[in-house]
Amino acid sequence: MFFRESQVPSGEVVLTGDRPTGPLHLGHYVGSLQSRLHLQEKNKQYIMVADAQALTDHAKNPDLIRENVLEVVLDYLSVGIDPTKSTIFIQSQVPALFELSAYLLNLVTWNRLKHNPTVKEEIVQKGYGENVPAGFMTYPVFQVADIAAFKAHLVPVGADQAPMLELASHIIAKFNRDHHTDCLIEPKALIPAFGRLPGLNGNQKMSKTLGNAIFLKDPLHLWEKKVMRMPSDPAHARIDDPGNVENSLAFTYLDAFDSDLEELARLKEYYREGGLSDSLVKKRLVAVLEGFLHPIQKRRKELENNLDYVRDTIVQGTKKANEVAACTLREVKEAMGILYLFQ
Ligand code: TRP
C-alpha cells in the first residue's frame, strides 16, 4: 500500500535513512530531504545514517564511510532537519538492530532474497556475479529490522524500492502471526510528492558515481559551469524555434527549485513560443539555485564551526534510538519466548 505525502495523517512514526557514501546532492534534496522537512512537523521521524548498510558493499573502505557520516549529518542539519523534531542516529551504534536482524533472517527464504528485483539489479550494476557478499544479499532484511525496531508506520521510498517494503510487510506479518503478537507494525511506503531529479547530463538519476551531481555544499564556481553546459532541448537549435519545456533539463530543475511560479509560467510560455534562449533559462536557474544553496551553505559553515553541537546531536539521537530499539527487541524476544535468562 502506498501513501502520497499529502495524505499522511499526523502522528505517524516515520523511518528514513541514507547510506553515508558521499555528501548529499540536489537529487537527495528533491527526492527526500524536502519531504523530511515537512514530515518532521507533524510526525515522529527517525533519520538513520545507515553506515552498517553502506559497508555491505564498501567493506574494504570503512574510512570512506566514517568520514561521510559527519558529512551527511551536516547536510541534514544545514537544510533544516531539526534535532528537536527528528531523531538523527547512526545505525552501527544501535546493537539491537543487528540482534533483531538475526531473528528476522529466519523468516525469509534464501530464494526470496535471491529474487529481490532491487538487489538483483544492484548485483549486475556492481558486477558481483556469483561473488556477491552474503552481507549484501541480506541487507534488505537488516533494513526490515530497522523499520521493525522503530515501529515505523511509514517509510519514504522511491518507487523502485517498493520490493523492499513488500519484504518488510511479509516478514513483519509473519513474525506477528507465528508468535501470536501484534508487537511489530507493518509499514507502508510513502512515495515522495516530487519525482526524481535527473542528473546534470540528463541521466535519469543524479548520483555521485555518475558524476552528474551538484552537492549541497558545492561552491558556486564548481557548479555554475556545469549548469551552463547542461544539454538543451535538441529541437530548440535556434532561439526563435519553438522550444519544448518538457525536453529542457533546465526547466525540470526550475520546476523543482523556483518558487516564483508566475515568473516560471511566463518563461515557459515564452520558451514554447520561441524567442527565449536556453542560456537565459540556465542563467535564471543559476540565480535560483544560488538563492536556494546560499542559506544552506551559510548554516553549514556555522555548524562546521560548532562540531561539538553536531556531535552532541548525534550522541543524543543515537541514545534515544538505542532506547527505542532495545525496547522493541525485548518485546520481540518476549513474544518468541527467549527471554529465559532474564524473566
Ligand atoms: N537503503 C537506504 C539507502 O540506500 C538506507 C536505509 C537503511 C533505510 N535502512 C533503512 C531507509 C530503513 C529506510 C528505512 O539510502
Look at residue 216 in the predicted model and tell me its pLDDT. 97
What CA–CA distance (Å, rounded) separates 35 from 16?
Answer: 11
Q: Which residue shows C-alpha cell 555491505?
A: 56
Question: Where does the pLDDT of residue 5 fall: very low under 50, low under 70, confident under 90, or very high at 90 and above?
Answer: low
What CA–CA distance (Å, rounded) separates 206 from 208?
Answer: 7
Look up the pTM and report it.
0.94
**Torsion angle (degrees, nearest 10) of CA 192, 193, 196, 198:** -150
Ligand 1 mean position, distance from CA 171 (Å)? 17
185 lines ligand 1 (CB under 6 A): no
Let me know the angle formed at the C-alpha of 11 by 102 and 321, rounded to the nearest 5 degrees. Answer: 35
List all residues 6 or more positions away from 124 whose beta carbon is below 8 Å from its beta carbon. Answer: none
Look at residue 9 in the predicted model and tell me its pLDDT. 77
What angle in degrees, to the nearest 10, is found between the helix axes of 278-304 and 307-336?
Answer: 80
Region 326-333 average pLDDT:
98
Look at residue 234 in the predicted model and tell me its pLDDT. 82
List all residues 6 or more positions away from 161 whose beta carbon is below 8 Å from its beta carbon. Answer: 118, 189
Whether 119 contacts 166, CB under 8 Å = no
Region 15-43 average pLDDT:
94
Q: Which helix (H) or strand (E) holds 14?
A: strand 13-18
Provide the residue type at 217 as one letter: K
Q: Considering only 85-89, 153-157, 262-266, 299-303, which range has the smallest mean pLDDT?
A: 153-157
Q: Considering only 13-22, 36-45, 115-124, 231-240, which range has the smallest mean pLDDT?
A: 231-240
Question: Where does the pLDDT of residue 157 fall: very low under 50, low under 70, confident under 90, or very high at 90 and above?
Answer: confident
Question: Where does the pLDDT of residue 3 fall: very low under 50, low under 70, confident under 90, or very high at 90 and above?
Answer: low
Ligand 1 mean position, distance from CA 292 (Å)? 26
Q: In the structure grid, which three cell numbers stand for residue 39, read together?
A: 514530515
Question: Where does the pLDDT of residue 1 fall: very low under 50, low under 70, confident under 90, or very high at 90 and above?
Answer: very low
- Above 80 in pLDDT, residue 284? yes
pLDDT in tens, 100-156: 999 999 999 999 999 999 999 999 999 999 999 999 999 999 999 999 999 999 999
**Residue 44: what are its φ and ψ, rounded to 5°?**
-95, 110
Q: Considering only 57-66, 113-122, 236-245, which range has the smallest mean pLDDT?
A: 236-245
Helix, strand, coil % over all residues of the chain, rounded to 5? 60, 10, 35
Other CB atoms within 10 Å distance of the CB of residue 277: 15
155 lines ligand 1 (CB under 6 A): yes
The closest-lying atom of ligand 1 relative to the alpha carbon of residue 156 is: 13
51 lines ligand 1 (CB under 6 A): no
- Please, what is the average pLDDT of the chain? 93
Residue % of the chain over a pLDDT of 90: 85
Q: Which of 143, 188, 209 should be mutated for ligand 1, with most atoms under 8 A from CB?
A: 143
Q: What residues are paired with 135 via a beta bridge?
A: none
